[in-house]
Structure 1
Amino acid sequence: MEAGSSIKNRTSSIALEIAGFVKFTFIGYFTIGLSLGVLPVFIHNQFGYNAMMAGVVISLQYLSTFLFRGYAGNIIDKKGPKTAVLSGTAGFAISGLFLFVAFLFKDHRELCLGLIALTRLVTGFAEGLIGSSPINWSINTVGEQNTAKAISYNGIASYGGLAIGAPVGILLDNNYGIAGISIVVFILGIGGYLLAKRKADALIKSSEQRKSFVSVLKTVAPYGICLTLAALGFGTISTFITLYYAYLNWTNAVLCLSVFSVFFILGRLIFAGAIDNYGGLKTSVACIALESVGLMVLWLANMPEVALIGAGITGLGFSLVFPALGVEAVKLVPGSNKGAALGAYGLFLDISLGLTGPLVGGVASHFGMLYIFPFSMGMVLLGLLLCLVIGWKLKSFRA
């Protein structure tokens, strides 16, 4: 009885320790969520640019994140995750300043759009630095045996931040405009920086020889490509759901993103042990299949209530894809490259979200807004097929 109580207390202690690090992820993604439901509509309605242009500007963030993932991984492995988190939170504060300047020039169409684009690039830098840093900070503190838990909790923090940040951003925009959002972003960035400054770093020195980032990238690439394809569903919802609802004359588009995020979080909480019990690849296959069902429901939805059901199924399906594939990918590299491995693996999520804007925006512009969800569903199904091929080659699905 006492042994069981001790294990339970230790588990709770580990969960609290991890939460103490992934709160920085929550701050970062709450910041990102503030403008996610506002800027696409602002660019489209205020300036008259089409859906593809709105998508390209929004996707600049993911391009920037992509470019700085490798840099972040090297900082984590050489200087420790705290340095990366400090840089990321400072970046969010600076992005708030740029967004405020953009607001001041809102009557100058091209200049304001350029400043918004610059804001997205700085936000992407901040996301790149803070994206996997709390995970590494957690793992270095609580041990590699808790890798799946650290990745899962980090995902809860990120999508929880988006789920809460998006409606708060709409509320701020309705009452104070983009200026209100920019001020909150700046305050959050400074607050996150001060909190991170107070925590002790956790840099683990490994005797194993470090591989180059390119070598690590090649190692994790098969799992990363699966993630890229699977994440197109989330990217389509996060980038285009406001425009999709507007096209259909539906209201409360931000609720769709929130429902996605809520079910995403529930999936990670309820099925947290699936990766340890069934393995990363089997879990990924089940989740990606469910995600494709959710996208099909969104595609066929003829009323916003049905669309919410589709968003919930999609969120539930996508919930464990990142940690499930990530656990398998990180196993393949030495301890001296764990930070680089998570950074390299995270690159593929950035690629997906970066491609979503121009790719799905192009589908919307050339074929119509109604085609965005069948297209993204097709991409997710390709990811499912690739995941099955990898699992079959590794004999993961054989008795």
Structure 2
Amino acid sequence: MSDAAVLSNAQLNKRILSVIIFTFFCYLSVGLPLAVLPGFVHNQLGFSSFIAGLIISLQYFATLLSRPHSGRLADRYGPKRVVMMGLVCCGLSGVLSIIAALCSAVPLLSLALLALGRLFLGVGESFSSTGSTLWGMNIVGPLQTARVISWNGVATYFAMAIGAPLGVLLNQWFGLSGFAGLVAIMGALGFWMASGKPAVSVTAGVRIPFHRVVSRVWLFGLALGFGTIGFGVISTFITLYFASRDWNGAAFALTLFSLGFVLVRLLCGRYITRFGGLKVSLISFVLECAGLLLIWQAESSWLVDVGAFLTGGGFSLVFPALGVEAVKRVQQQDQGSALGTYSAFLDLGLGLTGPVAGLLIGHWGMQSVYLAAALMVLGAFLITLRLHQQHGRQAAVQRVSG
């Protein structure tokens, strides 16, 4: 919008949060079932742990496959409509989970309903989060892209952090229908709120073919995917790591990880605009790699705590810093496609972390996953360094030709 340049920081944040709230609704819907559904499928429906894990993974596959499409639809029809479609899908997942709970006497039918609900939730996640980010970018302008993506990340991880324990609490009070009812209500409430907001105009212009969008952003996405593995191995395996060493305090390490993430995101997010996303990413990967190496070689729990804090702080700005640079590679009418494609690498990184790390643990022990994650983050650093060097050469050529 034309007046965005004269708005104060508080006014910019207010505008951004007015649409990023839909990301919060989306990821709270994602977090609520995580600690509840596996137990329901395994203990109440009587299926194996593998099936229980597969039900959770269905959402990831749906999100991964629908990410690029969400961006293209947002470019074509506008982010508001895509957000509303995503919220409908999230709400439907809650409704289907309620019906599944009522049909628990017929385990196969209940499982099928849960699976369908997970697919809807996966599509809802990609549509709501990608659409909300693009919506925010449109209402405050391209100069505030880093701010929008940063706030989107804060909403995402805050919702996920409170979603799992809240889901357990609601399950204890009301059963499966407790969290599922809240998911359905948030979908309906979010749809109503989004419908009352003014839509932003879709940018006119010739859109480049999708494969060309991919060719321009895939290296940024690959660096993001490698960097995400550090986040994945801590959030998934730090509890097992403490148990393997007969240490207490895994929850405190997770708290420090989250604290490092939030503090850096809130205090240092402005450095992306000031110094550029590539420079910030390089420093971020160094911190993240140092934290993972410290955990790998730690001989006491407090060193793991320090490593977790460094890893969380290092990973904090990776997504917005690389995301800003990725969307610069395309025109505004293709930014939704670029953002959706770029975000898909985060889903891919998180999805591959669990099974690959499990294989490493089986062969080389628990500590090996942190060394492997550090090496992957080093790979992300090298990719980003190459992108930074390419950017420097292009800038030099432009100065000479100018």
1:55 CA drift (Å): 5.4
Change (3 A) 1:380 1:54: farther
1:152-179 CA-to-partner distances (Å, cap 9, x unmatched) read 1111111111122232223334444433
- Distance (whole Å) between structure 2 residues aligned to residue 371 and residue 56 of structure 1: 25
Aligned to 2:150: 152
1:60 paired with 2:69, answer no
Q: Tell me if structure 2 keeps the 8 A contact 1:213–1:344.
A: no
- Distance (whole Å) between structure 2 residues aligned to residue 246 and residue 200 of structure 1: 52
Pairing partner for 1:183 from 181, 184, 187: 181
Question: Which stretch has the larger CA shift, 138-147 or 172-181?
Answer: 172-181
Counterpart amino acid of residue 137 in structure 1 = W
Pairing partner for 1:210 from 207, 212, 215: 207
1:74 paired with 2:64, answer no
Aligned to 1:199: 197
- Distance (whole Å) between structure 1 residues aligned to residue 98 and residue 302 of structure 2: 35
1:222 paired with 2:191, answer no
SS of residue matched to 2:329: coil
Pairing partner for 1:362 from 359, 364, 377: 359
Counterpart amino acid of residue 188 in structure 1 = M
Counterpart amino acid of residue 72 in structure 1 = S
Q: Tell me if structure 1 keeps the 8 A contact 2:76–2:202.
A: no
- Distance (whole Å) between structure 1 residues aligned to residue 93 and residue 333 of structure 2: 32
Counterpart amino acid of residue 183 in structure 1 = G
- Distance (whole Å) between structure 1 residues aligned to residue 277 and residue 268 of structure 2: 13
Aligned to 2:399: none
- Distance (whole Å) between structure 2 residues aligned to residue 365 and residue 119 of structure 1: 33
1:81 CA drift (Å): 0.6
Normalised by the length of structure 1, the TM-score is: 0.85
1:23 paired with 2:21, answer yes
1:283 paired with 2:283, answer no
Pairing partner for 1:343 from 326, 333, 340: 340
Counterpart amino acid of residue 145 in structure 2 = T
Counterpart amino acid of residue 26 in structure 2 = G
Aligned to 1:143: 141
Change (3 A) 1:310 1:85: same
Pairing partner for 2:290 from 279, 289, 293: 293
Normalised by the length of structure 2, the TM-score is: 0.85
Aligned to 2:330: 333
Please, which runs of 5 or more residues in structure 2 have no aligned partner? 397-402
Q: Tell me if structure 2 keeps the 8 A contact 1:225–1:348.
A: yes
Which protein is bigger by CA-based radius of gyration?
Answer: 2
Aligned to 1:393: 390
1:339 CA drift (Å): 1.2
Aligned to 1:3: none
Question: Which stretch has the larger CA shift, 342-351 or 260-269?
Answer: 260-269
Change (3 A) 1:126 1:329: same
Question: Which stretch has the larger CA shift, 154-163 or 379-388?
Answer: 379-388
- Distance (whole Å) between structure 2 residues aligned to residue 24 and residue 324 of structure 1: 22
Aligned to 2:11: 13
1:193 CA drift (Å): 1.3
Counterpart amino acid of residue 93 in structure 2 = S
Q: Tell me if structure 2 keeps the 8 A contact 1:73–1:340.
A: yes
Aligned to 2:164: 166
Question: Which stretch has the larger CA shift, 37-46 or 293-302?
Answer: 37-46
1:272 CA drift (Å): 1.6
- Distance (whole Å) between structure 2 residues aligned to residue 166 and residue 217 of structure 1: 34
Change (3 A) 1:146 1:389: same
Q: Tell me if structure 1 keeps the 8 A contact 2:92–2:120.
A: yes
Change (3 A) 1:242 1:197: farther
- Distance (whole Å) between structure 1 residues aligned to residue 335 and residue 23 of structure 2: 18
Q: Tell me if structure 2 keeps the 8 A contact 1:60–1:354.
A: no
1:139 CA drift (Å): 1.5
Aligned to 1:314: 311
Aligned to 2:400: none
Change (3 A) 1:89 1:314: same
Please, which runs of 5 or more residues in structure 1 have no aligned partner? 1-5
1:270 paired with 2:267, answer yes
Q: CA RMSD in A?
A: 3.3
Q: Tell me if structure 2 keeps the 8 A contact 1:61–1:354.
A: no
1:11 CA drift (Å): 2.3
Pairing partner for 1:120 from 118, 121, 129: 118
1:386 CA drift (Å): 1.8
SS of residue matched to 2:158: helix
Aligned to 1:32: 30
Number of matched pairs: 392
Question: Which stretch has the larger CA shift, 366-375 or 248-257?
Answer: 248-257
1:111-145 CA-to-partner distances (Å, cap 9, x unmatched) read 66555444332221111101221111112111111
Question: Which stretch has the larger CA shift, 210-219 or 294-303?
Answer: 294-303
Q: Tell me if structure 1 keeps the 8 A contact 2:77–2:202.
A: no
Q: Tell me if structure 2 keeps the 8 A contact 1:163–1:257.
A: no
Change (3 A) 1:249 1:55: farther
Change (3 A) 1:78 1:280: same
Change (3 A) 1:265 1:364: same
- Distance (whole Å) between structure 1 residues aligned to residue 340 and residue 309 of structure 2: 28
SS of residue matched to 1:131: helix
Pairing partner for 1:92 from 90, 115, 118: 90
Counterpart amino acid of residue 266 in structure 2 = L
% same residue: 40
